[in-house]
Structure 1
Amino acid sequence: MPLRRGDASASSLEDAASATQATDGASTEPNFPPRQIISKDIVSEGDDATANLPPTSSQAEPQDEPQKPSGASIALIMVPLCLSVFMSALDLTIVTPAIPAIVSSFKSGTGYVWIGSAFILASTAITPVWGSISDIWGRKPIVLIALTIFLAGSLICALAHRTDMLIAGRAIQGLGSSGLGIMVNVIICDTFSLRDRGLYLAITSLVWAVGSTVGPIIGGSWRWCFWINLPIGALVFFVLLFFLKLPSPHTPIIPGLKAIDWAGSMLIIGAALMILLGLDFGNVTFPWSSVTVICLIVFGVVTLGVFIINEWKIAPNPVIPMRLFSDRSTVAAYVIWSCNFYVLIVITGIGVGMNLEPPLVAAQAAMTVLDTAVIQSTMTFLRSLATAIAVVLGGVIFQNEMDASSHRLGKVLGEEVAQQFNGDQAAANVELIKLLPSDQQEQVRDAYFDAFKSVWIMFVTVAGLSLLANLFLRAHHLSTTSKEAVLGVDRKEKHTGTANGIQAPQPIEPPHQLADN
């Protein structure tokens, strides 16, 4: 709640003064500190309840102040985390150039589509669950489990002798990669203060960019693309196991399993899979008007609605607490985060890079340390879903525009050749343009440019939505000290002094005076 003049009544000040006298054992006047201006902002993780208040005796003692990690501790934390990020980014892009070799090896002309789709579907669907289970059992066990799952998937892919075995391995890799990505950011947010964590999150983003860039250019056989993960992953596992020092709630297995929101987990996984499969099938495997695509998307949206009701009204320990959407700064950060991945191919470089991590920090500053992990998993889920939707929307607009140009191209190229550049074939037949006479090439390129122009207009519109969302961000103080994560099945009871997810200001002794604002 905001601190305002008049919140502390005269009677409460008198009671506090009396308590001070009783404690001291003498009838002396309480020593009031100088008048201080108290911010009206909501007090949250980013706004320490005592940040602008005079120090008490306990606050004045240096030993009570949280200590920042030393350089060696930071290195032991960041190096394995960055290696985890590099490994995930490398795996995401290194497989793409190897797909022709995989298709040739397995003599399969259709299953190759699922080599990438299985990874993305599994990664996106499981994303919201990682944050909540890390709150129950702690960060370190969950990041090690995620790494183990990823390495198991890599081993299955490397040993695969059938397409379905390779697809299953890619799905398992997606499950582990999702957990790695979330837990890396959560551990950084737990370790560093709000003011410092932006730097270290930016470092992991840089590592991701490097891994994504070098992936396609690294040589080797397609099996080598998966074998390379094993030595890197083993090194990361060893360092994390022996050198990563994080608090652990030591939650027993059975109470921890009971604390999981199983209904919410199944609902969000089912909803994500149905929506993403519908978008993935649309106009590729089935036409948009097919019963399969329509049912998948409709039932996915309905299931998502049931999930929201479950999280809002029923679940005692929700996967995505609805309180995350109670603060306008947090909601605006979600919109900005999602929209940035719509416009990733429009404004690259500095513009997008500057907006990769700040929305995450803004959302965490608006909430409490209780929600660090679920904010990360929620934002990652929204980002993945937004990416999938953006690809589909861009593709639909492009295909519609190319269909609209087919009549004009038919007059120049002839109907048979023009059909090669219809909406559903235009993206696959770009190389055919080089085989046309120069005057016809110009006509076809103009059609492509017009189609892409409409796609850019859509993305710019979404970017404008992101810009408007920035207007709803509140300014929050970024604390310079990190706060220990609140973990375990009884984490809400441990996190005293909270109401509806917003940290309440703690009582100040001796009482202070509030200045006019």
Structure 2
Amino acid sequence: MESDTKGASSQFASDKSSVEYESQAELYHEPKVSNLRFALVFFGLILGFFMAALDQTIVITALGQISSEFNASNDIGWVGSSYLLTMSGFQPMYGIFSDILGHKTVYLIAISIFLLGSVLCGLSSSMFMLIMSRAVQGIGGAGLITVVLIIVTDVVSIRDRAKYQGVLGVALGTATVAGPLIGGAFADANLWRWSFYMNVFIGLAAIIIIAFFFQHDMYKNHREPSTLPMKSQLRQVDYGSLLLLMPGAICVLVALQTGGEELSWTSPLVLTLFGVGALALVCFVLSEIFLIKHNPVLPRRMVTCRTTMAVFLAQFAGSASDYAIMYFVPLHYQMVRGDTGVQSALELLPFFLAAVTAGLVSGILISKTGYYRIYLWSGCCFVVIGASLLQMSTVDSNVIHQYVYLAIMGLGVGLCKQSFIIAGQAAVPDKDLSLATSHGQFFRILGGAVGISISATIFRYNIARGLDGLMKKYHMHLSLKNINMIKNLPRPIRIQVQTVAVEAIDRIYLFAAISAGVALIAVVFIKHFDLWKPEHEETEEIDRKQNGHYSSD
């Protein structure tokens, strides 16, 4: 009787907080699929996921050769940015259409678009064509990342997801490290186009595996099927909101990319992009909350769910911190130690090895125990500590110490990455799993793009201020547009220029620590949901306990 009273009061509290999420008992149903077939399908999913992650970094060490071939160094930054822009903007779309057209169909469409973009990149005859082709790749890449996570959500019970997402984390970490190495190897052999052509072979293998072996009987989380024909479902899609969200996000990201580098922050174009993007995003949020009653892109019940919004904020802030470190640590070593692009990429190994190990271990432990918030808390704390230690770096800092600090950060990132996904999915019913996953990835990539832009602005400002003082002191012109010039400077001046560079990058590490701190604050508002339920429990009992536990945290 007492437990029933507590459950009722908890349910009342849930209603009072405007949270409308329902029973999640269906998350624990187990279909029977052979281990070999499951492993084969999961491998096919990993191939697509790996390709999309690989192409985020594979061009980094090939940019020099690409710019030389096309004689267009001023536009070289867009080779990477165009991919991230469309990858971010198209994330929410895949979450919606995967539920209507089917995950398998949308995955195959996404990988086909990605392969088309890859072929066009390899055939590019100008910088403009390459940038546009990278944008096509990004459209497909958005689906590969999002739909793979959605499929894993549907073929694996919630208590086991962390384990399999840990494997995806290994693929992500491997791709991030391997990207610059593979791209650099192709560039050194004057074969940079094969950085894109190689995707065709990987992608075709993934298509064959998924097309023939991934069938509907693999789904563990059977959602309530719609009784409407597919055409009717497609007509009910909230296209107006998508046309506000996607261009709005892209406008803001383009403004962040161009502002302070190609154009002044106060230039009419940058201000217009910010204004249009912000207006579109505000209109999107207002329309979702007050106007759209059926099939919204961002359901009101999701906006009013404290845990869901806290997860989105934490993913955004945490990703801003991660990307700032990944992009500027290699630059640190290139400037201070004279590393090549490939060598500087290897300097990130402590970060990625720690992240991969922590991701695997935490995934297994989450699957065993059902507890995940401890990894969110501890992970964010490790990132704050690691970034804070890194921001005390000097020109003469012990490189072993820096590797340890990077490993601490990587440990934190590994603990958090799939735990954020699990926390977001655990807070919603089956009908919102695709939306929760796609929006989470949208905020993750958006946070990364914003983090890179803010870090670049911090770097440019501090470099300009530091070099201006040195130029006045030595009455000579100094520029870091070509960082290779540092090693040719007289030693006294070289040390001072390196000091300026390190101090500028230290400010970026401080920004990373602050961003991780914001993520830590957001984690405080994430509720815990019990992932571990004995399989013999009755559905009604699971339903009652789940609803009560939801609001009692």
Cα deviation, 1:33-61, whole Å, max 9, x if unaligned, reads: xxxx999989998975699xxxxxxxxxx
1:315-326 equivalent positions in 2, closer than 5 A: 315=292, 316-326=294-304
Per-residue deviation at 1:472? Answer: 1.4
Per-residue deviation at 1:356? Answer: 0.7
- Which residue of 2 is the match for residue 22 of structure 1? none
- Which residue of 2 is the match for residue 225 of structure 1? 195
- Which residue of 2 is the match for residue 373 of structure 1? 434
1:368-447 equivalent positions in 2, closer than 5 A: 368-414=429-475, 416-418=476-478, 420=479, 426=480, 428-447=481-500
Structure 1 pair 228–250 and aligned structure 2 pair: CA distance change class (3 A): farther
1:37-436 equivalent positions in 2, closer than 5 A: 48=24, 66-67=30-31, 69-218=33-182, 219-220=185-186, 221-246=191-216, 252-315=229-292, 316-344=294-322, 345=325, 346=387, 348-414=409-475, 416-418=476-478, 420=479, 426=480, 428-436=481-489
CA distance in 1, matches of 2:273, 2:471: 36
Helix, strand or coil: the match of 2:64? helix
Helix, strand or coil: the match of 2:417? coil
Per-residue deviation at 1:313? Answer: 2.0
Per-residue deviation at 1:180? Answer: 0.6
Does the CA contact (< 8 Å) of 2:23 and 2:429 recur in 1? no
Per-residue deviation at 1:308? Answer: 0.6
Between 1:302-311 and 1:222-231, the stretch displaced more is 222-231
Between 1:375-384 and 1:461-470, the stretch displaced more is 461-470
Given candidates 517, 523, 534, the residue that maps to 1:470 is: 523
Helix, strand or coil: the match of 1:401? helix
Amino acid at match of 2:211: L
Structure 1 pair 358–163 and aligned structure 2 pair: CA distance change class (3 A): same
Does the CA contact (< 8 Å) of 2:30 and 2:157 recur in 1? no
CA distance in 2, matches of 1:251, 1:223: 46
CA distance in 2, matches of 1:399, 1:109: 18
Cα deviation, 1:346-390, whole Å, max 9, x if unaligned, reads: 453211111111011011111111111111111111111111111
Give the % identical residues: 30
> Unpaired runs of 5+ in structure 2?
220-224, 326-386, 388-405, 547-553
Per-residue deviation at 1:251? Answer: 6.8
Amino acid at match of 2:301: R
Does the CA contact (< 8 Å) of 1:332 and 1:473 recur in 2? yes
Structure 1 pair 6–333 and aligned structure 2 pair: CA distance change class (3 A): closer
Amino acid at match of 2:477: V
CA distance in 1, matches of 2:261, 2:236: 41
RMSD of aligned Cα (Å): 3.3
Cα deviation, 1:294-346, whole Å, max 9, x if unaligned, reads: 11112211110001112112222112223223222222222221222122114
TM-score for the superposition, normalised by structure 1: 0.77
Per-residue deviation at 1:458? Answer: 2.2
Aligned residues: 441
Helix, strand or coil: the match of 2:261? coil
CA distance in 1, matches of 2:511, 2:206: 42
Does the CA contact (< 8 Å) of 1:4 and 1:40 recur in 2? no
CA distance in 2, matches of 1:207, 1:46: 33
CA distance in 2, matches of 1:463, 1:412: 38
Does the CA contact (< 8 Å) of 1:137 and 1:249 recur in 2? no
Per-residue deviation at 1:453? Answer: 2.6
CA distance in 2, matches of 1:103, 1:200: 39
- Which residue of 2 is the match for residue 58 of structure 1? none
Amino acid at match of 2:302: L
Helix, strand or coil: the match of 1:72? helix
Structure 1 pair 251–175 and aligned structure 2 pair: CA distance change class (3 A): farther
Helix, strand or coil: the match of 1:156? helix
> Unpaired runs of 5+ in structure 1?
10-36, 52-63, 421-425, 483-496, 498-502, 508-517
CA distance in 1, matches of 2:229, 2:126: 40
Does the CA contact (< 8 Å) of 2:458 and 2:508 recur in 1? yes
Per-residue deviation at 1:82? Answer: 0.8
Does the CA contact (< 8 Å) of 1:46 and 1:478 recur in 2? no
Does the CA contact (< 8 Å) of 1:264 and 1:319 recur in 2? yes
Structure 1 pair 326–4 and aligned structure 2 pair: CA distance change class (3 A): farther
CA distance in 1, matches of 2:6, 2:256: 55
Per-residue deviation at 1:5? Answer: 0.9
Helix, strand or coil: the match of 1:5? helix
- Which residue of 2 is the match for residue 23 of structure 1? none
Does the CA contact (< 8 Å) of 1:275 and 1:297 recur in 2? yes
Amino acid at match of 1:225: S
Structure 1 pair 340–115 and aligned structure 2 pair: CA distance change class (3 A): same
Cα deviation, 1:453-503, whole Å, max 9, x if unaligned, reads: 322222212211211222212221104599xxxxxxxxxxxxxx9xxxxx9
Amino acid at match of 1:447: V
Cα deviation, 1:256-281, whole Å, max 9, x if unaligned, reads: 32021110111011101110111111
Does the CA contact (< 8 Å) of 1:325 and 1:331 recur in 2? yes
CA distance in 2, matches of 1:226, 1:134: 26
Q: Which has the larger radius of gyration?
A: 1
Helix, strand or coil: the match of 2:30? coil
- Which residue of 2 is the match for residue 453 of structure 1? 506
Structure 1 pair 429–442 and aligned structure 2 pair: CA distance change class (3 A): same
Structure 1 pair 282–480 and aligned structure 2 pair: CA distance change class (3 A): same
Structure 1 pair 376–481 and aligned structure 2 pair: CA distance change class (3 A): farther
Per-residue deviation at 1:407? Answer: 4.8
Structure 1 pair 461–101 and aligned structure 2 pair: CA distance change class (3 A): closer
TM-score for the superposition, normalised by structure 2: 0.73
